[in-house]
């Protein structure tokens, strides 16, 4: 099934039901469908057709949801981009995917203008959420919604390309992950299945819609006819929790840094969570210390610890019934998919042995846009069956029952004193220390050992000192894993999707 078909089904089944909540604005399924019909018609009139790319350069909000569905209705391919991106990154993406159109927030007009400088007039066709002097020729979003749809619908297929999601690789150069309508449909069906989503759900999400984890909140909600409450950010956790209570949310997707912010709140009250059925966590490994505190605070809320990559949307999930006895695991393969830990030659390793996680199934990407070499590296054949598998580049270990635990990104491993250390193991120990709100461990140059470990810590207790941190590590970790340096910071750098950024911290992007 194509993605936009789920919205049309929602309009038929419950036209008056609220689909999107964005501040004071509430859009029913009928309104969301009609608005996206209008914008799709404008795109078609502007020459956008099947397979063309459309960049959506906008933050969380109802207009972004409308734009995404409009692109799919026009038969085009969505390229969502972080609206905080600078002109240089946006220009790279425009050069790479050659979009026929851009839908952008008005506040990003100057960035769009700079990125489009030197391109042919009128290309790409541009829509702004409201008029802006930086782009006087851009179409007005509100006017586009009033365009009458054409009775002749384009001939579209379920296996058409649906999205190119740009992610930075180890070199920092954006790579476009290609996902078809069939890939996304398989992923969302799996997620809806294990979360048990229904039309009765109200999902509150502060995750950005340009981020795969955030995008799936919209797609799964529409698939089952649920309501999605969009928050622009998690900068003010108390306000988000007030909204959680006011909307009587049943689902709350988060990343670990958001949980860290919540747990730092003074006298965190469980009352705002009273309506919740579940919390999901993905985007990074959830520290066991956070899991234990959440379970103590919210014993009746199901906690789903998950793992995924843009390249497969979601790879594993841990059934909530297992989280207390396997808190360091991200579980088993999603329904319809498979996951295994393999050696460098691609053969399975024994339980307890660290290897690379490989993922297979209908949710795995087509490849990287305009990057055949990277595609060949990531998508390889199983040496035993010949099936195509995604090599994630992440190191995992499986237990005797097949439950998977994340160890590290392969390129995050630090070699110090002749031994390899996974920073996440050190971070897990740091989170067990009272007073540690957030932590990242990186390798830094050393004249004797070549590289040593440095712990970067955000404190929830200003009395916590470096000596106490080192004593705690020495008591709980092997000597090679004890950091040689400790630095306390006000904040740690994060990606646009809210994940702690080891690369940025390693390059010095912190606030002391």
What domains are there in the chain, each with its CATH number?
Answer: 29-156 (3.40.50.980), 183-408 (3.40.50.12780), 413-511 (3.30.300.30)
User: pLDDT grade, residue 336 (50/70/90)?
Assistant: very high
- Res. 410: pLDDT tops 70: yes
Question: What is the average pLDDT across 170-196?
Answer: 90
pLDDT for 150:
80
User: pLDDT grade, residue 417 (50/70/90)?
Assistant: low
Q: Which of 285-299, 431-445, 495-509 has the lowest mean pLDDT?
A: 495-509
Tokens of 206: 């502060």
Helices 181-195 and 212-224, packing angle to 10 deg:
70
User: pLDDT grade, residue 506 (50/70/90)?
Assistant: low
Q: What is the mean pLDDT of the chain?
A: 92
- Res. 235: pLDDT tops 60: yes
| Tally of CB atoms within 10 A around 233 | 14
pLDDT for 431:
92
To which residue do tokens 């946006």 refer? Answer: 90
Spatial CA neighbour of 342 closest among 382, 376, 378, 286: 382
* pTM for the structure as a whole: 0.85
C-alpha angle 354-355-359 in degrees, rounded to nearest 5: 130
Tokens of 96: 């790479």
User: pLDDT grade, residue 503 (50/70/90)?
Assistant: low
pLDDT for 306:
96
The alpha carbon of residue 366 and the mean position of all alpha carbons in its chain are separated, in whole angstroms, by: 18
**Which alpha helices (DSSP H) does 369-450 contain, by range?**
372-378, 423-431
C-alpha angle 492-495-497 in degrees, rounded to nearest 5: 125
Q: Is 74 helix (H, G, I), strand (E, B) or coil?
A: coil
Spatial CA neighbour of 182 closest among 50, 365, 337, 307: 365
How far is the C-alpha of 87 from the C-alpha of 116, rounded, in Å?
Answer: 9
To which residue do tokens 């476009």 refer? Answer: 176
Question: What is the average pLDDT across 305-309?
Answer: 94
Contacts of 446 (CB under 8 A, 6+ apart): 416, 452, 484
- Res. 244: pLDDT tops 90: yes
Strand 450-459's sheet: what is its strand order?
A: 436-446, 450-459, 485-489
Question: Which pLDDT tens digit goes with each residue over 359-372?
Answer: 999 999 999 999 99
With 0-12 / 13-18 / 19 or more C-beta atoms within 10 angstroms meaning exposed / middle / buried, residue 393 is middle
pLDDT for 170:
46
pLDDT for 501:
77
Tokens of 225: 């006819």
pLDDT for 418:
62
Highest mean pLDDT among 56-65, 116-125, 153-162: 56-65
How far is the C-alpha of 425 from the C-alpha of 414, rounded, in Å?
Answer: 12
Q: Are residues 154 and 74 in contact, defined by beta-carbon separation less than 8 angstroms? A: yes
Structure letter (DSSP) for residue 357: E
Contacts of 199 (CB under 8 A, 6+ apart): 14, 17, 224, 225, 226
Tokens of 348: 């399975």
């Amino acid at each position: 099934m194509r993605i936009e078909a789920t919205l049309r089904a929602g309009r038929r089944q419950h036209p008056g039901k609220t689909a999107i909540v964005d501040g004071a604005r509430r859009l029913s399924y009928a309104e969301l469908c009609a608005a996206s019909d209008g914008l799709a018609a404008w795109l078609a009139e502007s020459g956008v057709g099947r397979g063309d790319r459309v960049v959506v350069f906008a933050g969380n909000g109802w207009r972004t949801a409308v734009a995404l569905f409009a692109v799919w209705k026009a038969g085009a391919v969505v390229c969502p981009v972080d609206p905080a991106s600078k002109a240089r990154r946006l220009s790279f993406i425009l050069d790479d995917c050659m979009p026929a159109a851009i839908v952008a927030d008005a506040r990003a007009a100057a960035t769009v203008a700079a990125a489009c400088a030197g391109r042919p007039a009128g290309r790409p066709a541009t829509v702004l959420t409201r008029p802006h002097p930086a782009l006087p020729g851009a179409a007005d979003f509100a006017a586009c919604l009033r365009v009458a749809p054409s009775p002749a619908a384009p001939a579209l297929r379920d296996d058409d390309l649906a999205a190119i999601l740009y992610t930075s690789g180890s070199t920092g150069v954006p790579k476009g992950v290609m996902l078809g309508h069939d890939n996304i449909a398989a992923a969302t069906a799996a997620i809806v299945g294990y979360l048990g989503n229904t039309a009765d759900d109200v999902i509150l999400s502060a995750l950005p819609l340009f981020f795969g984890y955030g995008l799936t909140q919209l797609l799964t909600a529409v698939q089952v006819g649920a309501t999605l409450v969009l928050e622009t950010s998690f900068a003010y956790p108390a306000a988000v929790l007030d909204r959680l209570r006011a909307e009587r949310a049943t689902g709350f997707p988060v990343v670990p840094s958001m949980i860290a912010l919540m747990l730092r709140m003074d006298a965190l009250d469980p009352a705002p969570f009273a309506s919740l059925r579940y919390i999901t966590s993905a985007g990074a490994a959830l520290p066991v210390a956070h899991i234990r505190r959440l379970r103590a605070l919210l014993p009746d809320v199901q906690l789903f610890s998950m793992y995924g990559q843009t390249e497969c949307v979601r790879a594993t999930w841990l059934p909530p019934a297992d989280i207390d006895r396997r808190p360091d695991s991200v579980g088993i393969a999603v329904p319809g998919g498979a996951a295994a830990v393999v050696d460098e030659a691609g053969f399975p390793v024994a339980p307890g042995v660290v290897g690379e996680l490989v993922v297979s199934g209908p949710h795995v990407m087509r490849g990287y846009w305009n990057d055949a070499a990277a595609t060949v590296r990531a998508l390889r054949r199983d040496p035993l069956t010949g099936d195509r598998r995604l090599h994630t580049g992440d190191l995992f270990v499986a237990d005797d029952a097949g439950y998977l635990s994340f160890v590290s990104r392969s390129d995050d491993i630090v070699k110090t004193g002749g031994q390899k250390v996974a920073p996440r193991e050190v971070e897990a120990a740091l989170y067990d220390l009272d007073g540690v709100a957030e932590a990242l461990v990186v390798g830094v140059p050393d004249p004797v050992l070549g590289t040593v470990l440095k712990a970067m810590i955000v404190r929830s207790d200003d009395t916590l000192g470096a000596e106490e941190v080192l004593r705690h590590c020495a008591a709980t970790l092997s000597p090679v894993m004890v950091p040689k340096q400790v630095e306390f910071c006000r904040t740690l750098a994060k990606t646009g999707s809210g994940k702690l950024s080891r690369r940025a911290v390693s390059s010095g992007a912190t606030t002391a």
